[in-house]
Structure 1
Amino acid sequence: MGPHELAVDRIATTVRALYSRRESYRIFHGSTNSTRPVQKDCVVDISEMSNVVKIDPVSKVAIVEPNVSMDKLVEATLEHGLIPPIVMEFPGITVGGGYAGSAGESSSFKYGYFDQTVNSVEMVLANGEIVTASRTERPDLFKGAAGALGTLGITTLIELQLIPAKKFVKTTYYRTGNIPDTIRAIRQETKGLSNDYVDSIIFSKSHGVVITGQLTDDKPDSAKPQTFSKAWDPWFYLHVKEKTDLESLSLPVTDYIPLADYLFRYDRGGFWVGVEAFRYFGFIPFNRVTRWLLDDFMHTRMLYRALHGSNRSFGFMVQDLSLPYSKVEEFVDYTSQELGIWPLWLCPLREMDPPSFHPCTTLPGPGDVPEPMLNIGLWGQASSNMDAFVRQNRELENKLTELGGRKVLYSHTYYTEQEFWHLYDLGWYDDLRQRYSATTLPTVYDKVKVDVSKYRKGLSWAQRLVSLWPFPGLAGIYWAIRSKDYLLHRNSAWIHNRISKNPRS
C-alpha cells in the first residue's frame, strides 16, 4: 500500500476499535476555522492527511487529502494553469473543511457551495468501513455528508473539479447609495455572464460597494497591478473604501489584481476583524505603519489561533447568515439597530435543494422552489457580558428564523434542540445515520451547540482571573506564536509571493 492507503488503514483500524466499544469521537484536523469554544473529547487524529495526491490537467481534476489548505491547493493547481472554481478566501481553510462545512465565496453565485464542485469522496464510516461516495455511487451519503461536519464519517480523499486559470482578476467596484440599490445591483451582476466573481461590502446605509471580478490574461499597459499580499499593501476592505469614498462617485473603479492576491484578498485582517486586536489593546494606533509592523499577526491563520488561545470567542459576533434576497434589507435594518456592526459582507449564493445542512430556503407555495440566497457576514464587537452576549445571539437567531434565513454552522449556535431540528430535517438525517452506521457519532446539533453552563463550570479561579484585560490578548499572542500555524503562515507567505509573481508556475 502507498502512503495514503496506509494512513486510511490506520484511521479505519482506530475507528473500528471505537465502534466496537460504542465510543463516540470527534475528528482532529490539526487546526480549525470554527469560532466555537474548543471541546476536549475523544478524537481521531487525521492531521497527517495533507497531501495533494494528483492533479490531472487533461480531465481537469485534483485528487487531494482532506487537510490540504487552500493556498497549498492553489499552488499545486496553478502549476498546471488551473484553479478550483471556488477558493475560500482564507488560505488555511482546508478542502475537507470546505466539503464537510458550508463553504462558499464570491464565485458561489455561479458554482454553488464548495462541495458542489466535488466529484467524489472517499470516507471511513463510523464502523470503520472504507467507501466511496459520489453523485452516482451512494448519492445519499455524498449529499448528506456535505455540510454535516463529519458526523456521518471521516472524509479521507476528495476529487474536485478545476477550471482554467488566468493571470489577473479584473476587479470593478460600483458605489451604491443605499441598501435596496446594493441588493438589486448584486442580483443584477449575478446574471452577468462575463462575471466570474461577485460580492459586496456595505460600509454604512449610504455607502455600499458591489464588487465584480473577471478572470483575464489581458491588462492595459497603463494599469499597475494592485496587490494585497505584501506587508505594506493595503488591507482589501480599506482599499475598497478609499476607492469609493466620494458620494458623488458615479463611474465604476477598476483594478487588475494578480490571481492569488484576489483569491486571498481578505486574508490580511480577516476581512476587518483584525481591527479588533488594535481596539482590544487600545494603546496601539491603527494605521498603515502599525499594520506593517504587526503584519505577521494579522493573517487569518494567526488570528484564529489567537482567538482560541485567548478563549475570547465570547463577546464577538462572528456569524455568516444567509437569507432570501427579499428579506435582506429588513435583516440589515435589524442588525444596524440592535448591534451597530459595520461593515457587512454580502456574498450571493446559488439556490440549494433541501434537505441539507447548508443554508437554503424555498419560495412559499406548491413545489417549494429553491431560491437563491444572499449571505451576510456579520463580524464585530458584541456585548462583553456573557448573559447579554447569549441574549444577542438568541435574538439574532430568532430574527433569522422569522425571515426564512439560516446560519452557517461554523459559529456560535444557541438554538434549543427542538428549534434546531425544526430548521433541519431530522428524519432525513436519522435515516442516513442508521444506514451508514453513524449513530455512535455526535450529531450536527451536538457539535454546533454552545453550552454556556458547561463552559462556566469548566473555568477555574485562575482562568477567571486571567480572563481580565489584558491577559486574554497576551495569551492569544503567545499561543499564536508557539503554534505550528505561525510556521504555516510564514510558509504561506512564501507560497503566496511565489505564485503571485508567476501565477502559472
Structure 2
Amino acid sequence: MSRTEALAHEARRDRLLAGLRADGGSPAAPLALAKRTSNLFRDREAGPRHRIDLGDFDHVIDIDTASSTVEVEGMATYEALVAATLQHGVMPAVVPQLKTITAGGAVAGVGIEATSMRQGLVHHSMLELDVLLPDRRIVHCTPDNAHRDLFFGFPNSYGSLGYALRLVLRTLPVRPCVRVEHIAHASPEDFFAALAEACEGDADFVDGVVFGPRSLVLNIARFEDTAPWLSNYEFERIYYRSLLEMPVDHLSVHDYLWRWDTDWFWCSKNFGAQNPLVRRLFGRSHLNSCSYTRLMRANARWGLAKRLARWRGMHTESVIQDVDIPIAAAPAFLDFLQREIGILPVWVCPVHAPDPDAHFTLYPLAAGMLHVNFGFWDVVETREAHEAGHFNRLIEKEVLRLGGIKSLYSDSFFTRDEFNATYGMAAYEVLKRRYDPDGRAPHLYDKCVLRR
C-alpha cells in the first residue's frame, strides 16, 4: 500500500501547488479552510474568506506495524483512520472521541481520549508533520530538523500558521475486545485519588463521568482476547447510562473507541434522541456526532432554542468547554463547576505528557504532572440577565487561578494579556514572523477570541 499511496500523495501535492500558483498573488481576504464538517464550537464574524480546499488530502498513506506508526493525510477523519489501522491490529495512540475529527484538526487543535493518561494529547504522538504555509509553501517538520520550531509550535495554532497536509503518528497494538470496569465513588476526593492510582497501573484506558456531587464513576478498561458478551451502543442502548447500571462491561475494540460518538457523549438529549421513539426515527445511520452537529448549527442559524428560552422568561449562555487542571486542584475545580456553573454530567479524562523534553509552545502542560481534563457541554439558563460570556468568563478565571489551561475550540473571552501569558504568544510571534510574515492567516487571538 505504501508505495502506491505515497506516489498518489505526491501527485495530490503537485496538483495543489499548481492550483495555488494559478490562483494568483496574495489574497486580500483572510485564509480559511474549506470543510464540509467542523468540530469547532465558536462562530466567526461574517465576512469574505479566501478558502483553501484540501478535501483530497483524506487518505491513509501507510501503516507500518514494525515501527508502530501510521502515515496519514491531514483531512483524513479518525473514523477512516481507525478503520484502516484496526485491520492491521493497531490503533492511533490517541483516538479523539468523535468520528469526524480529522488527523490534522486533532493536532492543530487539542485531541484527547482515555489513553491520554499515558500517551498524552494527540500531538504528543506526532513524529512528522508537513504543513502548507499561508504563503503556499510546504515545509517538512520533525522534532530535530530545521523546522522543529513549527513542529512544536503547530499544535493549538488552529490554522493560524498553516494547515497539516501529512502526519506520521504513533500507533498502539490492540486486541479484539475491551473489558471496562465502572467503579462508583461518592466522594470527589476518593474519585480523583483512585483516578491517579489507575493511571499508575496496567490499565489501557482511563476516564470517568461526574453524574452528581456524590455520584462519580471511574472507568478502567483493558484489552482482552475474548469476552463473555459484547455490548453495542450504536442504536437502542445508550452508553453513558450503562456506567451507572453495569459494574463490568465488554465491547469490541471498534465499539469501545466510538462509545461516545453515538450520543455525542450525552448531548443527544438536546435533540430528543434519547427517547426510544425518536431514536428509532433517527435510525442507526443518523445517531452520531455528525448529525447532531448539523442540527446544532441549524439551531444556531435560526435561534430556535434561544427564542423558546426567552418565551419562558429565561436567559441562556452556551458553555461548551474542555479544560485541563493539575490533579491536585481537580477537586477544587469540580466544586467550583458544580457551585457556579451547574452543568452535569461532566466527562473527566486524565492526561500526562509522556516526554518531559517535548515542549509544545502554544499548549504548555507542566512536565511530569498529571492533569485532569474536564469536558462539559450544555446551556446555562438563568432568570437573571448577565453580560455576554459571563459563565464562560468565570470558568476562564478559575482555570487560570488553578494553574490550568483551556482548549480553544469554543468561545473564549480572555484579555489579550491573559491570552499572551497562557498560550505562549511571545514565541508565537516569532513563529508568525517566520512562517506567515505577510499575515495572510488570522492571528491566533483574533481568530479564537475576537472571532475574526
TM-score with structure 1 setting the length: 0.78
Q: Hey, what's the Cα distance between the residues in 2 that align with 1:430 and 1:450? A: 17
Are 1:288 and 2:250 an aligned pair?
A: no
Tell me if the contact between 1:412 and 1:450 (Cα under 8 Å) persists in the aligned partners. Answer: no
Residue among 210, 222, 235 paired with 2:238: 235
Is 350-359 or 77-86 further displaced after alignment?
350-359
* Runs of 4+ residues over 6 Å off in structure 1: none
Do the aligned partners of residues 8 and 429 (structure 1) sit closer, same or farther apart at CA in structure 2, a change above 3 Å counting? Answer: same
Residue in 1 that maps onto 2:349: 347
Q: Hey, what's the Cα distance between the residues in 1 that align with 2:104 and 2:360? A: 21
**Which residue type is aligned with residue 292 of structure 1?**
R
What is the Cα deviation at residue 440 of structure 1? 2.8
Residue in 1 that maps onto 2:375: 377
Are 1:179 and 2:188 an aligned pair?
A: yes
**Which residue type is aligned with residue 403 of structure 1?**
L
Q: What are the equivalent positions in structure 2 for 1:108-147 lying under 5 Å apart?
A: 108-137=116-145, 138-147=147-156
Q: Hey, what's the Cα distance between the residues in 1 that align with 2:28 and 2:148? A: 27
Q: Hey, what's the Cα distance between the residues in 1 that align with 2:434 and 2:172? A: 35
Q: Hey, what's the Cα distance between the residues in 2 that align with 1:317 and 1:359? A: 23
Q: Secondary structure at the match of 1:131?
A: strand
Q: What are the equivalent positions in structure 2 for 1:48-59 lying under 5 Å apart?
A: 48-59=56-67
Residue in 1 that maps onto 2:105: 97
What is the Cα deviation at residue 431 of structure 1? 1.1
Q: Hey, what's the Cα distance between the residues in 2 that align with 1:19 and 1:413? A: 33
What is the Cα deviation at residue 309 of structure 1? 2.2
Q: Hey, what's the Cα distance between the residues in 1 that align with 2:360 and 2:99? A: 30
**Which residue type is aligned with residue 277 of structure 1?**
F
**Which residue type is aligned with residue 306 of structure 1?**
L
Do the aligned partners of residues 21 and 378 (structure 1) sit closer, same or farther apart at CA in structure 2, a change above 3 Å counting? Answer: closer
Q: Secondary structure at the match of 1:274?
A: helix
Residue in 1 that maps onto 2:14: 9
**Offset from partner CA, 1:192-245 (integer Å, 9 cap, x none):** 0x21100000101111110011112133xxx2111212x12x2111111223xx
**Which residue type is aligned with residue 424 of structure 1?**
Y
Do the aligned partners of residues 374 and 262 (structure 1) sit closer, same or farther apart at CA in structure 2, a change above 3 Å counting? Answer: same
Tell me if the contact between 1:355 and 1:428 (Cα under 8 Å) persists in the aligned partners. Answer: no
Q: Hey, what's the Cα distance between the residues in 1 that align with 2:298 and 2:450? A: 18
Do the aligned partners of residues 376 and 3 (structure 1) sit closer, same or farther apart at CA in structure 2, a change above 3 Å counting? Answer: same
Q: What are the equivalent positions in structure 2 for 1:42-81 lying under 5 Å apart?
A: 42-81=50-89
Residue among 235, 255, 265 paired with 1:261: 255
**Percentage identity across aligned positions?**
25
**Offset from partner CA, 1:139-198 (integer Å, 9 cap, x none):** 211111122112222211111122222100111111111111111111110000x21100
Residue in 1 that maps onto 2:288: 299
**Offset from partner CA, 1:91-137 (integer Å, 9 cap, x none):** 11111111111101000111111111121011222222222111122
Equivalenced residues, count: 424
Residue in 2 that maps onto 1:276: 270
Q: Hey, what's the Cα distance between the residues in 2 that align with 1:18 and 1:228? A: 50
Q: Secondary structure at the match of 1:162?
A: strand
Q: Hey, what's the Cα distance between the residues in 2 that align with 1:382 and 1:116? A: 34
**Which residue type is aligned with residue 155 of structure 2?**
A
**Which residue type is aligned with residue 408 of structure 2?**
L
**Which residue type is aligned with residue 268 of structure 1?**
T
Q: Hey, what's the Cα distance between the residues in 2 that align with 1:37 and 1:437? A: 23
Is 411-420 or 431-440 further displaced after alignment?
431-440
What is the Cα deviation at residue 261 of structure 1? 0.6
Do the aligned partners of residues 405 and 103 (structure 1) sit closer, same or farther apart at CA in structure 2, a change above 3 Å counting? Answer: same
Q: Hey, what's the Cα distance between the residues in 2 that align with 1:370 and 1:70? A: 28
Q: Hey, what's the Cα distance between the residues in 1 that align with 2:286 and 2:404? A: 34
What is the Cα deviation at residue 450 of structure 1? 4.8
Are 1:328 and 2:335 an aligned pair?
A: no
What is the Cα deviation at residue 297 of structure 1? 4.2
Do the aligned partners of residues 20 and 167 (structure 1) sit closer, same or farther apart at CA in structure 2, a change above 3 Å counting? Answer: same
Q: Secondary structure at the match of 2:337?
A: helix
TM-score with structure 2 setting the length: 0.87
Q: Hey, what's the Cα distance between the residues in 2 that align with 1:333 and 1:158? A: 39
Tell me if the contact between 2:186 and 2:214 (Cα under 8 Å) persists in the aligned partners. Answer: yes
Q: Hey, what's the Cα distance between the residues in 2 that align with 1:431 and 1:442? A: 15
Tell me if the contact between 1:172 and 1:255 (Cα under 8 Å) persists in the aligned partners. Answer: yes
Is 77-86 or 10-19 further displaced after alignment?
10-19
**Offset from partner CA, 1:411-450 (integer Å, 9 cap, x none):** 1111122221121222211111222235432122122115
What is the Cα deviation at residue 386 of structure 1? 8.3
**Offset from partner CA, 1:320-356 (integer Å, 9 cap, x none):** 0111112111111112112211111110011376553
Structural RMSD (CA): 2.4
Residue in 2 that maps onto 1:356: 361
Are 1:426 and 2:425 an aligned pair?
A: yes
Tell me if the contact between 1:315 and 1:386 (Cα under 8 Å) persists in the aligned partners. Answer: no
Q: Hey, what's the Cα distance between the residues in 1 that align with 2:440 and 2:375? A: 34
Residue in 1 that maps onto 2:43: 37
Q: Hey, what's the Cα distance between the residues in 2 that align with 1:200 and 1:124? A: 37
Do the aligned partners of residues 356 and 325 (structure 1) sit closer, same or farther apart at CA in structure 2, a change above 3 Å counting? Answer: same
Do the aligned partners of residues 264 and 389 (structure 1) sit closer, same or farther apart at CA in structure 2, a change above 3 Å counting? Answer: farther
What is the Cα deviation at residue 59 of structure 1? 2.6
Tell me if the contact between 1:62 and 1:159 (Cα under 8 Å) persists in the aligned partners. Answer: yes
Do the aligned partners of residues 18 and 331 (structure 1) sit closer, same or farther apart at CA in structure 2, a change above 3 Å counting? Answer: farther
**Offset from partner CA, 1:356-400 (integer Å, 9 cap, x none):** 33362x4xxxxxx55221000111221389854511111221121
Tell me if the contact between 2:179 and 2:249 (Cα under 8 Å) persists in the aligned partners. Answer: yes
Tell me if the contact between 1:18 and 1:24 (Cα under 8 Å) persists in the aligned partners. Answer: no
